[in-house]
Amino acid sequence: MFEFLPLGRILKTTNPPAVEKSSAPLRFGVVGASRIAPDAVIKPVRCHADTLILAVAARSERRAQSYAQKWRIPKFYGGQNAYQDLIDNPDIDVVYIGLPNALHYEWTMKALAAGKHVLCDKPIADNEEETQRMFALAQEKNLVLLEAWQPRFHPALHRVKAIIDEGSLGKIVKMYAHFGLWGDLQFKKDDIRYNYGLGGGALMDLGPYPLNIMRYLSSSEPTVLSAEATCRSENVDRRMEVHMTFAESIPATVIVDFALEGWGPLKLLPQWLKLVFRVECENGVVEYFNYALPSLYHYITITTKDGKSRVEKVYKPAEGKGEEWWSAYRYELEAFVDKVRGREPQVWRTAEDSINSMRIIDAAYTKACFAPRSRRTH
């Protein structure tokens, strides 16, 4: 199936065209010169007329300067007070937070307190309690806070839900998902994903993808029955297997893994990525490949009980705003800007959705006999 990859569209998705800006665009500040920020916000802003990246902040002044030069960001802040200096800039309307997980709460709260709208990378916090506090402050300040989990905004996921909700396949009877990486070569031992103090763990990093999709497709919240972890270090999961039950007693299993075993009899051939999402219904099965990055490439396979199959790919909604080359992050940015501007977004993630997501992650860590991610004194 990969021989038919639409390379032209992928190139435009990963390197979107710049557009002329409106007379008064929303001005973004990027807290953290991270690897995720270009795809998550810098490139989407490039092709959105009503947005502009005004500044970036990093603890290292040299890194902040080189990052700003590379991505053509007009202003940079470096040093120990860089994050606060950016937040205090009166010209910035929105703060994007792409810091390690354990820093999301602190800097989201500071940005909200300063009157800024916030787009915060997933997972939005270390635990449910922090998430509740963050959205409570956003509501108090009448500001927009969105957890940046981009697959929720892509039309491919909406199509999967439409297929299930349409009813011809019958009710959901079982769900299964696996998200794994050959991480021992991709991540160094000192990677933040393996640092408990920074909110590390496979479930924190990879878990939101399958867990949130299951919740969305079933329109229900699960009960976590059990969870088993393989440790990388104390309280940090390299692999986590979670068993749950959703509404109407639907069993579900999620496996996330930072270090997949290799292929072959001796397991020496690299297995770079495993992205499996399967929904079994009464009258058929739906499989959704590449649910984490659907804008690059995906396919939805529907197989009915009589053995007939069809494949669908959806990059643009049937109605509403969107282009074939838009990334899931670009769809997310469109919704965020609509919300800030007082318009009704086509798609939105509510505060309750993010709070419930962290509740499940907390429950899974508890079932695995792990300490929850940090519970600081607020």
Q: What is the mean pLDDT of the chain?
A: 94
pLDDT for the residue numbered 359: 97
**pLDDT of res. 184:** 60
pLDDT for 3: 45
Please tell me which residue in 122, 161, 313, 321 is annotated as part of the active site. 122
Instruction: Give the pLDDT mean for 306-328.
Output: 96
Prediction pTM value: 0.94
Q: Which domains does the chain have, with CATH numbers?
A: 2-149 (3.40.50.720), 152-367 (3.30.360.10)
pLDDT at residue 1, rounded to an integer = 43
Q: Is the pLDDT of residue 71 over 90?
A: yes
In a 3-state reduction of DSSP, which class is residue 25?
coil
Q: Which of 31-35, 91-95, 186-190, 373-377 has the lowest mean pLDDT?
A: 373-377
75 close to 88: Cβ distance less than 8 angstroms: no
- Average pLDDT of the segment spanning 31-59: 97
Share of the chain above pLDDT 90, in %: 85
Is 174 noted as a catalytic residue in this protein?
no
- What is the rounded CA–CA span in Å between residue 368 and residue 378? 26
Q: Which residue has the higher pLDDT, 211 or 8?
A: 211
Q: Quickly state the pLDDT bin for 4 (edges 50, 70, 90).
A: low
2-16, 86-100, 339-353: range with lowest mean pLDDT: 2-16
Where do the H-state alpha helices sit in the chain?
7-14, 37, 43-46, 61-70, 82-88, 104-113, 128-141, 155-166, 183-186, 202-205, 208-218, 328-340, 351-367
**Structure token digits, residue 69:** 């030069």
Q: What is the largest CA-CA distance in the chain?
A: 63
- Give pLDDT, residue 285: 98
Nearest CA-CA partner of 41 in 84, 98, 86 = 98
**Residue 360: how many other CB atoms lie within 10 Å:** 24
